[in-house]
Structure 1
Amino acid sequence: MTAKPSIGMAGIGLMGHGIARNLLRHGYPLAVLEHAGNQPLDELLAAGATTRASGAQLAAGADVVILCVTGSPQVEAVLLGDGGVLQGLRPGAVVIDCSTAIPTSTERVAQAVAAAGGRFLDAPMTRTPKEAAEGRLNLLVGGDAALFAECRPILASFAENITHAGPVGAGHRMKLLHNYVSLGFVALLAEAAACSERAGIDPQVLVQVLAQGGGGGAALERLKPYLLARDPSGLRFFMSNAQKDLGYYATMAEDGGAAHAIADGVLATYERAVQQGGAQALVPELVSLLAQGGAR
């Protein structure tokens, strides 16, 4: 791999746009896959990015292909579908999947990449679009340790904390564990805030008491702007993505024979929230939906 390998990227959404921006800022040649779901590309194109019409074309010009799409169906489609990445993958090229995916699907995809002559890392991320834009994501990486070390400079261009979680699939397993805990905390706080609202408690008092006791932490900080001013920007994460991630966690837990009764309750809360508030509602809006009884 050269000092600045050429990179192809699929998935220029809220998170992917920040990743792409930082890759360019660090001097990596970058091509992005044209897709209707992309965020506006003007800034990236002005910085030197180019576009490709298919996954195969993207891979044909790339030493490394980074995926930042919604979930396992999209990962499988962009890699394995007609005109997909594997049809243009260079021998020895690396596929890095930064999406959130079902680990058993990840393992199958990694095998397909290897059969096509490529190498694979799963590297899902935590944090928000703000940190993505700042190059300060957290990455949880699964795959061969030597390949991880080889690719670390690329990952470090858009991530602050990078953890090698284990073999292929371990990154996605750790991401689902993280998101279950994170979104579970948010759901618990949202339900408590909804109860507090219906009981007539001043939101300032609620936030102060929780912050000074056992309710403090990242989840409260992200919900606080919504609790105090109905500003959802503290957690720009779609309700449908929360539902998807928790569904993936439930699948992983069930596949592994692990307990998941609490996870089932959290998933049901987000499912009802999507039904009542819509897929594009942001997660902090769960507070209002619960207060109204819509996601009860």
Structure 2
Amino acid sequence: MTQTNEKIGFIGIGLMGHGMAKNIVEKGFPLTVVAHRNRAPVEDLVSRGAVEAASLEEVARGCTIIFLCLTGSPEVAAAIAALKPGLRAGSVIVDCSTSDPTVTQRIAVELAAIGVHIADAPLSRTPKEAWAGTLDCMVGAEVDIFARVQPVIATWAAKIVHIGGIGDGHRMKLLNNFLSLGYAALYSEALALSRKVGIPVAEFDKVIRGGRMDCGFYQTFMGYALEGNREAHKFSLSNAYKDLRYVESMANAATVTTTMASAVKNSFAVAMANGGNGAADYVPHLSDFIARANGIE
């Protein structure tokens, strides 16, 4: 068992959070969780040794480090507002969501006024790695706060990079997602063009796979496009679209042109405007929407 004085709270035990929380409690940290809509993850975590709280305020009163793994900045801001009455000076909020860094910095100022710290620690990879404890994590935090949260993060992340100060983790995450979602847009358009000119997906894949243009993201993307596995990469179209809007916002604040980022965002906007279901459609399914936009079934 891990020897620690820290008491961990976890809010947002969805696709990613469930596996992360599982690793925290199984590797010896005392863990408190709270239910949202789906009770199954709560019941699983309680069976592994976690404690269920009745409210976010109760989580705040009983924990010294509280992880958030939510959809985006509006949900994070709402959760912190609900936590605030119970937060104690010296406690730490760790935001693992992909959030808008300008909001992260504003929240940091609000929390500092009551003696509460914040770290941004967004993730890379998929629910499979969350369950295995092998996620990538990029952290924005003051040095002493990073030292406190790093042992807990290490229960679910194999690669941890301390990027810099508050907000830098979220900035790096947006850059990371711009690249990965840019790949998705490129693959989708290339596959549509390939089919239009008479090259089947299987033949396309024979050339790319194992060559210089191959990568892990390509392989999970093609798990759907080639093999039909709808759950090959479980990251929703709606979250992807949200992240790309955050990329544009960050670029706007930095006065950077977004020729590529906006084009990628618009590829996902096509999917969202044509029936993309946030709960059931994942990033590799973008290939279907781009195909249909080009008259391909």
> What band does the TM-score fall into relative to the shorter chain?
over 0.9
1:54 Cα deviation from its structure 2 partner = 2.2
Distance in 1 between the 2:184 and 2:295 partners? 14
1:129 Cα deviation from its structure 2 partner = 0.3
Counterpart AA for 1:279: G
2:150 corresponds to = 152
Q: Secondary structure at the match of 1:66?
A: strand
Deviates more, 1:149-158 or 1:167-176: 149-158
- Distance verdict in 2 for CA 1:135–1:16, change over 3 Å: same
Is the 1:13–1:38 contact (alpha carbons within 8 Å) kept by the matching residues of 2?
no
2:224 corresponds to = 226
Aligned pairs for 1:18-97 (under 5 A) are 18-36=19-37, 40-80=41-81, 84-97=82-95
Counterpart AA for 2:87: L
1:186 Cα deviation from its structure 2 partner = 1.2
1:115-158 alpha-carbon deviations (Å, 9 max, x no partner):
12111111011110000000111110001012112221111011
- Distance verdict in 2 for CA 1:34–1:208, change over 3 Å: same
2:254 corresponds to = 256
- Distance verdict in 2 for CA 1:295–1:152, change over 3 Å: farther
Gaps of 5+ in 2: none
1:274 Cα deviation from its structure 2 partner = 1.6
Is the 1:100–1:176 contact (alpha carbons within 8 Å) kept by the matching residues of 2?
yes
TM-score (norm 1): 0.94
Distance in 1 between the 2:105 and 2:139 partners? 13
- Distance verdict in 2 for CA 1:239–1:8, change over 3 Å: same
- Distance verdict in 2 for CA 1:39–1:164, change over 3 Å: farther
Aligned pairs for 1:164-183 (under 5 A) are 164-183=162-181
Q: CA RMSD in A?
A: 1.7
Q: Secondary structure at the match of 2:41?
A: coil
1:266 corresponds to = 264
Distance in 2 between the 1:203 and 1:166 partners? 42
- Distance verdict in 2 for CA 1:94–1:294, change over 3 Å: farther
| Runs of 4+ with deviation above 2 angstroms | 37-42, 197-200, 211-215, 277-280
1:278 corresponds to = 277
Q: Secondary structure at the match of 2:33?
A: strand
Aligned pairs for 1:165-244 (under 5 A) are 165-244=163-242
Distance in 2 between the 1:153 and 1:133 partners? 17
Counterpart AA for 1:146: D
Is the 1:12–1:39 contact (alpha carbons within 8 Å) kept by the matching residues of 2?
no
Is the 2:105–2:167 contact (alpha carbons within 8 Å) kept by the matching residues of 1?
yes
Is the 2:178–2:261 contact (alpha carbons within 8 Å) kept by the matching residues of 1?
yes
Is the 1:141–1:164 contact (alpha carbons within 8 Å) kept by the matching residues of 2?
yes
- Distance verdict in 2 for CA 1:38–1:190, change over 3 Å: farther
Q: Secondary structure at the match of 1:41?
A: helix
Is the 1:71–1:101 contact (alpha carbons within 8 Å) kept by the matching residues of 2?
yes
Is the 1:273–1:295 contact (alpha carbons within 8 Å) kept by the matching residues of 2?
no
Is the 2:34–2:42 contact (alpha carbons within 8 Å) kept by the matching residues of 1?
no
Is the 2:177–2:243 contact (alpha carbons within 8 Å) kept by the matching residues of 1?
yes
Q: Secondary structure at the match of 1:233?
A: coil
1:140-198 alpha-carbon deviations (Å, 9 max, x no partner):
00010121122211110111000000000000000000000111011101111122123
Is the 1:68–1:99 contact (alpha carbons within 8 Å) kept by the matching residues of 2?
yes
Percent of residue pairs identical: 39
1:212 Cα deviation from its structure 2 partner = 4.4
2:111 corresponds to = 113
Distance in 2 between the 1:149 and 1:11 partners? 23
Deviates more, 1:48-57 or 1:238-247: 48-57
2:288 corresponds to = 288
Count of equivalent residues = 292
Q: Secondary structure at the match of 2:160?
A: strand
